[in-house]
């Protein structure tokens, strides 16, 4: 059995204005307020290409290693739907702006990108029931209508649902890094349709398209479900019809939307209202130069020149604000390796436990530095450090204030610790006996006891030394 | 006899204080309301003035497929019978900015698809030369209004001859500028790659004046070009030594009356020192076929927006598909439906290569053959129409009807400037001569037309401007 997966991805570009009119690109505005004769399809209105769309599309295409075409053009995709005011969508069907790109997965596998083209989004519909056919009434909001999209079409180079998910996440990280899209799947700024087909020795299934996948997790879940479903159908010796299915995130399953026969004939033809799009070599070169470092390049740099572990490097390089945070911390004099561990293991853990996105203001570099300094100079233990950081994260208080206020400084003064150590030894005669009989591994038990009594403030190294001294002395 | 005056004549009269701006406007308002009941040139009337400029005091009319804010723009269709414009077309705005006053919106074949105004969803307009006959179309309302002196000039739109053909039928000047010179913003699209707004006037000089006013690059129309052409500047210069080409294809099958009238034109221009030769342009024989693939294809897409969802007619049904079907069935007339069907067919995946794609290739061929001829000749000339105005209902077969545009279509396919000037009367019905030149040689086209107009002499108005 061999599974073949290809993706068609739509990304909303976060330009100031819409693709073909000067309305604001803002889906959150009050319904039907960002509209004009052009995006509502009034008679006589004409599209004007927003140059920022071209700029963003080139940026994306270059980041995905595509060939940019000096000449591309626009076409009309004709179909009727109430959220499509003109009765056609302006897209690039015959001559897309870019082709032949790729993204490399972490396992080294190359996923080729067939094409990238510019198009416009449709409006948004609100039905009084689940679907338009059941609904007694439907409302249309045209704020979204005309928002620029790029469609990215991959070759069918993926074999596993995890690969599709990784591809999508990498794509999101790239789009965010180059600041062309929020890459937010949950709100539809990034959408993914997956084509899947399965082949065994004798035969192969038809291609099934899965739509409505609205999160990264569901990219994987929907494909897993669909692969299982197709495999099952094939096992039973039945035919897998070519069709479009929709992912239902409530039932965690796919449902048939339409068969191949019911597909629209979109009657593509060149858009006569827009001249061909000419992109100069100079412009491509300029944009190439202005591109920020992409996540994979950055990760490699962290690994090779800063000595950060590969896993940490990948995590830190993914997100622009995070990598900037890391780089600023290193620039402030902190050790790269140490800092990377702190950020990945401690800082990100706090955000993850809240399932919120990283925000450098919650734990400023100054505060991170202070906590790291306290720990590295053994003024507080790693355990206390975690507590302090959680407190900073929660209240935004200064670590100094927290450490002082809660009296958390590590006790490394032997005179202060000796009485506690003695106490613990006195309370555990059985364990003392074990030690004396040669079981030196129980030393940790005594250290733990002291740490508990001092609420983590004791310096474990010194405690260990003292315990050993006292027990050995008794001999 | 104000109605006989050209735009220029009226401007002069106002300038010399023979008439006030208000007097001129009131005169034409009165004349329009009196004669319109017989001609039915207008779909709606108004009196809208916005700016102040050299056209202050000059009334005009616009074809009812151009947007004029706060007025209805019906496109001659039931589907837009109550549609109110939300903005004003660029070309119209440019004239308003110069102080002219819109007196009304004129009748047309539904969505400009036709050559007679018989396909207007509301009523046909009558030819002021003979009210039993069509004024031509699709800008028939504009042509009739100018010919009968209801307004001194009007705007029309020309997709396959819709300005020049009615000008020929009504005995006035009709000018289609080079594609891209005049903004289409606000012109309800029929076939976007062919549509061009142009003036209908009594004189060639007026056509140049109005043409110059509406031209210019428009940030709202990406197909407009940044080209400054002075149409007036050299319009009176002589044309001695120029060479005109008459396509052999135009002369074949031409009826004797038209042939004779055109011969007279050739004799006239030869007296100006112009050479006239017959030249073959073989691909022209495909022009009508190509046009009736490309124009309906674009139209089928352009008219998709009339779906009953956001504006215009809506027939309530239980399903969305039902709303679409019923709205479009009730809203569109037969000719529009025919063209939508044609266009939908030729664009469908199975037939795209055989029809639309092939038509595009032949279009390119026609363009290059015409360009080639225009390398050695200053202009291509011929009768604007194969016949004079026909009677209502006389042509019922669509294929015969489509041949009305046989001479005018090539200029649209090639995007060339073209003007029709009255060249004579046949049985007291006017017919025009068409002069076409290279892209952006609009000034030359008008200069040749003007030279001919001078030697031809004043062209009569229909029965002294009153109706038979
Ligand atoms: Zn808009």
Contact A46 B220 (CB under 8 A): yes
**Could you tell me which of B172, B149, B251 has the C-alpha nearest to residue B421?**
B172
Distance A38 CA to ligand 1 centre (A): 5
Q: What are the tens digits of pLDDT across the range A333-381?
A: 999 999 999 999 999 999 998 888 899 889 999 999 999 988 888 788 7
- Beta-ladder partners of A91: A75
**Could you tell me which of B193, B196, B191, B134 has the C-alpha nearest to residue B168?**
B134
pLDDT of residue B466: 58
Q: pTM of the entire structure?
A: 0.90
pLDDT by residue, tens only, chain A of 475 residues: 899 999 999 999 999 999 999 999 998 899 999 999 999 999 999 999 999 999 999 999 999 999 999 999 999 999 999 999 999 999 999 999 999 999 999 999 999 999 999 999 999 999 888 777 778 888 999 999 999 999 999 999 999 999 999 999 999 999 999 999 999 999 999 999 999 999 887 788 889 999 999 999 999 999 999 999 999 999 888 888 999 999 998 899 999 998 877 778 999 999 999 999 999 999 999 999 999 999 999 999 999 999 999 999 999 999 888 999 999 999 999 999 999 999 999 999 999 988 888 998 899 999 999 999 888 887 887 888 888 999 999 988 999 888 888 777 766 677 778 888 888 888 888 888 888 888 888 888 888 888 888 877 788 888 888 888 888 876 5
pLDDT by residue, tens only, chain B of 468 residues: 899 999 999 999 999 999 999 999 999 999 999 999 999 999 999 999 999 999 999 999 999 999 999 999 999 999 999 999 999 999 999 999 999 999 999 999 999 999 999 999 999 999 999 999 999 999 999 999 999 999 999 999 999 999 999 999 999 999 999 999 999 999 999 999 999 999 999 999 999 999 999 999 999 999 999 998 999 999 999 999 999 999 999 998 899 999 999 999 999 999 999 999 999 999 999 999 999 999 999 999 999 999 999 999 999 998 999 999 999 999 999 999 999 999 999 999 999 999 999 999 999 999 999 999 999 999 999 999 999 999 999 998 888 888 889 999 999 999 999 999 999 999 999 999 999 999 999 999 999 999 999 999 999 999 655 554
Kindly give, in sequence order, each residue whose CB lies less than 8 Å from that of residue A439, ignoring residues fewer than 6 positions away: none
| Portion 304-343 of B in contact with A at CB < 8 A | 304-305, 307, 309-311, 319-320, 324
What stretches of A124-270 show up as alpha helix (H) in DSSP? 161-177, 216-235
**Could you tell me which of B415, B390, B410 has the C-alpha nearest to residue B400?**
B390
Task: State whether CATH 3.20.20.140 applies to domain A414-474.
Answer: no
Contact A45 B320 (CB under 8 A): no
Contact B220 A48 (CB under 8 A): yes
Phi, psi (degrees; rounded to nearest 5) at B138: -85, -15
Q: Does A32 touch chain B (CB under 8 A)?
A: no
pLDDT of residue A436: 85
User: Nearest residue of A to residue B193 by CA position?
Assistant: A272
Ion ligand 1 nearby residues (CB, 5 A): A 21, 23, 36, 38-39
Contact A42 B304 (CB under 8 A): no
Domain range annotation of chain A: 2-283, 293-405, 414-474
Determine the Cα–Cα distance for residues A450 and A438; give it in Å rounded to an integer. 21
Q: Tell me how close the Cα of B94 comes to any Cα of chain A, in angstroms.
A: 16
pLDDT of residue B446: 98
Pick the CATH number of B2-242+372-465 from 3.30.470.20, 3.40.50.2300, 3.90.1300.10, 3.30.360.10: 3.90.1300.10
Residue B63 is a catalytic residue: yes
Residues of chain B found within 8 Å of residue A132, distances taken between Cβ atoms: 320
Mutation site for B-interface testing, chosen from A46, A54, A123 by largest number of B Cβ within 10 Å: A46
Phi, psi (degrees; rounded to nearest 5) at A334: -80, 155
Q: Does B184 touch chain A (CB under 8 A)?
A: yes
Q: Does B220 touch chain A (CB under 8 A)?
A: yes
User: Nearest residue of A to residue B74 by CA position?
Assistant: A43
Contact A44 B349 (CB under 8 A): no
Q: Does B351 touch chain A (CB under 8 A)?
A: no
HEC letters along A214-254: CCHHHHHHHHHHHHHHHHHHHHCCCCCCCEEEEEECCCCEE
Contact B192 A273 (CB under 8 A): yes
| Contact indicator for B178, B367 with CB cutoff of 8 Å | no
How many CB atoms neighbour CB B208 within 10 A?
28
Determine the Cα–Cα distance for residues B268 and B273; give it in Å rounded to an integer. 9
**Could you tell me which of B292, B295, B290, B291 has the C-alpha nearest to residue B111?**
B295
Q: Which of B5, B40, B63, B202 is catalytic?
A: B63
Kindly provide the ipTM of the predicted complex, given to two decimals: 0.96
Contact A43 B298 (CB under 8 A): no
Residues of chain A found within 8 Å of residue B189, distances taken between Cβ atoms: 43-44, 273
User: Nearest residue of A to residue B317 by CA position?
Assistant: A136
Radius of gyration of chain A (CA): 30
| Contact indicator for A172, A187 with CB cutoff of 8 Å | no
| Contact indicator for A163, A171 with CB cutoff of 8 Å | no
Q: State which H helix or E strand residue A451 sits in.
A: helix A443-453
* A-B C-beta contacts closer than 8 Å: 103
Mutation site for B-interface testing, chosen from A20, A41, A44, A139 by largest number of B Cβ within 10 Å: A44
- For residue B64, give Cα distances in angstroms to A359, B72, B77, B113, B291: 58, 8, 10, 13, 23
Q: Does B287 touch chain A (CB under 8 A)?
A: no
pLDDT of residue A444: 86
pLDDT of residue B285: 95
| Contact indicator for A264, A79 with CB cutoff of 8 Å | yes
Contact A132 B356 (CB under 8 A): no
């Amino acid at each position: 059995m061999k599974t073949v997966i290809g993706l068609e991805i739509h990304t909303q570009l976060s330009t100031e204005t819409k693709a073909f009119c000067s309305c604001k690109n803002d889906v959150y505005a009050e319904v039907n307020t960002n509209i004009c004769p052009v995006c509502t399809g009034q008679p006589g209105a004409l599209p004007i290409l927003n140059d920022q769309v071209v700029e963003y599309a080139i940026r994306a295409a270059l980041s995905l290693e595509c060939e940019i075409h000096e000449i591309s053009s626009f076409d009309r995709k004709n179909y009727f739907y109430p959220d499509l005011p003109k009765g056609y969508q302006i897209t690039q069907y015959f001559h897309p702006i870019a082709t032949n790109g790729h993204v490399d997965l972490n396992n080294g596998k190359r996923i080729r990108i067939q094409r990238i083209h510019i198009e416009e989004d449709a409006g948004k519909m609100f039905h009084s029931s689940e679907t338009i056919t059941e609904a007694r009434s439907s409302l249309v909001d045209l704020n979204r209508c005309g928002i620029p999209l790029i469609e990215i079409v991959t070759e069918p180079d993926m074999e596993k649902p995890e690969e599709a998910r990784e591809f999508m996440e990498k794509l999101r990280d790239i789009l965010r890094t180059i600041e062309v899209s929020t890459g937010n799947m949950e709100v539809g700024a990034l959408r993914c349709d997956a084509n899947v087909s399965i082949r065994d020795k004798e035969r192969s299934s038809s291609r099934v398209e899965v739509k409505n996948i609205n999160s990264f997790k569901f990219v994987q879940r929907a494909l897993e479900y669909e692969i299982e479903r197709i495999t099952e159908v094939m096992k039973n010796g039945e035919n897998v019809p070519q069709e479009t299915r929709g992912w239902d995130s409530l039932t965690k399953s796919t449902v048939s939307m339409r068969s191949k026969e019911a597909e629209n004939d979109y009657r593509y033809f060149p858009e006569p209202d827009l001249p061909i799009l000419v992109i100069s070599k100079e412009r491509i070169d300029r944009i190439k130069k202005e591109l920020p470092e992409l996540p994979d390049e950055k990760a490699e740099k962290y690994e090779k020149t800063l000595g950060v572990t590969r896993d940490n490097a990948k995590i830190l390089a993914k997100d622009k604000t995070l990598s900037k945070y890391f780089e600023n911390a290193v620039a402030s004099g902190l050790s790269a390796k140490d800092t990377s561990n702190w950020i990945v293991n401690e800082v990100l853990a706090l955000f993850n436990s809240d399932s919120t996105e990283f925000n450098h203001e919650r734990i400023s570099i100054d505060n991170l530095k202070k906590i790291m300094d306290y720990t590295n100079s053994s003024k507080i233990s790693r355990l206390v450090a975690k507590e302090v950081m959680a407190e900073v994260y929660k209240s935004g208080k200064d670590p100094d204030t927290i450490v002082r206020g809660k009296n958390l400084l590590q006790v490394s003064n032997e005179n202060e610790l000796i009485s506690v150590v003695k106490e613990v030894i006195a309370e555990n005669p059985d364990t003392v006996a074990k030690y004396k009989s040669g079981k030196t591994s129980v030393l940790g038990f005594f250290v733990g006891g002291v740490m508990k009594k001092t609420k983590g403030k004791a310096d474990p190294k010194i405690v260990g030394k003292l315990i050993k001294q006292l027990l050995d002395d008794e001999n | 006899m104000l109605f006989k005056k050209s735009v220029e004549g009226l401007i002069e009269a106002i300038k010399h204080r023979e008439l006030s701006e208000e007097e001129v406007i009131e005169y034409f308002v009165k004349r329009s309301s009196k004669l319109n009941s017989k001609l039915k040139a207008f779909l709606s009337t108004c009196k809208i003035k916005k700016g102040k400029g050299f056209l202050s005091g000059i009334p005009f009319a616009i074809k009812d497929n151009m947007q004029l804010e706060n007025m209805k723009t019906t496109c001659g269709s039931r589907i837009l019978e109550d549609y109110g414009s939300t903005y004003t077309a660029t070309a119209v705005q440019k004239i308003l900015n110069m102080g002219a006053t819109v007196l009304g919106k004129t009748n047309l074949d539904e969505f400009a698809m036709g050559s007679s105004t018989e396909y207007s969803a509301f009523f046909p307009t009558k030819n002021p030369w003979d009210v039993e006959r069509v004024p031509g179309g699709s800008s028939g309302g504009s042509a009739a209004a100018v010919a009968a002196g209801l307004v001194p000039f009007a705007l029309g739109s020309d997709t396959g001859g819709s300005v020049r053909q009615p000008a020929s039928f009504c005995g006035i000047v009709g000018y289609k500028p080079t594609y891209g010179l005049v903004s289409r913003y606000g012109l309800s699209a029929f076939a976007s790659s062919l549509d061009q707004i142009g003036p209908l006037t009594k004189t060639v000089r007026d056509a140049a004046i109005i043409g110059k006013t509406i031209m210019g690059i428009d940030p709202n129309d990406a197909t407009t070009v940044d080209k400054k052409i002075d149409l007036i500047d050299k319009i009176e210069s002589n044309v001695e030594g120029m060479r005109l080409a008459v396509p052999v294809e135009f002369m074949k099958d031409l009826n004797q009356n038209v042939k004779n009238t055109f011969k007279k034109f050739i004799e006239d221009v030869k007296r100006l020192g112009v050479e006239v030769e017959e030249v073959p342009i073989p691909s022209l024989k495909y022009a009508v076929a190509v046009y009736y693939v490309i124009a309906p294809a674009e139209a089928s897409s352009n008219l998709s927006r009339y779906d009953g969802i956001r504006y215009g007619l809506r027939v309530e049904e239980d399903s969305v598909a039902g709303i679409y079907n019923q709205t479009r069935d009730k809203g569109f007339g037969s000719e529009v439906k025919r063209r939508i069907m044609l266009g939908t067919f030729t664009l469908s995946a199975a037939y795209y290569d055989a029809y639309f794609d092939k038509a595009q290739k032949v279009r390119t061929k026609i363009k290059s053959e015409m360009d080639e001829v225009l390398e050695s000749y200053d202009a291509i000339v011929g009768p604007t129409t194969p016949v004079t105005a026909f009677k209502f209902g006389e042509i019922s077969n669509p294929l015969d009807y489509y041949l009305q545009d046989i001479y005018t279509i090539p200029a649209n396919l090639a995007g060339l400037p073209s003007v029709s000037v009255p060249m004579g009367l046949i049985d007291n019905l006017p017919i025009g001569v068409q002069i076409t030149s290279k892209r952006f040689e609009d000034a030359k086209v008008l200069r040749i037309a003007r030279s001919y107009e001078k030697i031809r002499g004043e062209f009569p108005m229909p029965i002294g401007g009153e109706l038979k």
